[in-house]
Amino acid sequence: MKSILFGAVAAVVIALGAYAVLDGSIQRTAEQRFATEGVRL
């Protein structure tokens, strides 16, 4: 029973960590990612 509980807690912690990483700096729109002087979007 303890292993199931620890697995569920670990899954929640991993999901929250992934949300924080992906929502923060990694996900950007194409306009933000490829914005240079020579690109017209």
pLDDT in tens, 7-41: 999 999 999 998 888 876 677 777 777 777 765 65
| Angstrom distance (rounded) from CA 30 to CA 6 | 39
What is the DSSP annotation of 1-41? Answer: -HHHHHHHHHHHHHHHHHHHHIIIII---HHHHT--TT---
**Spatial CA neighbour of 31 closest among 40, 22, 20, 23:** 40
The pLDDT score that the predictor gives to residue 25 is 66
The pLDDT score that the predictor gives to residue 33 is 72
Domain extent listing, the chain: 2-26
Residue pair 17/9 in contact by the 8 Å Cβ criterion: no
pTM of the model: 0.57
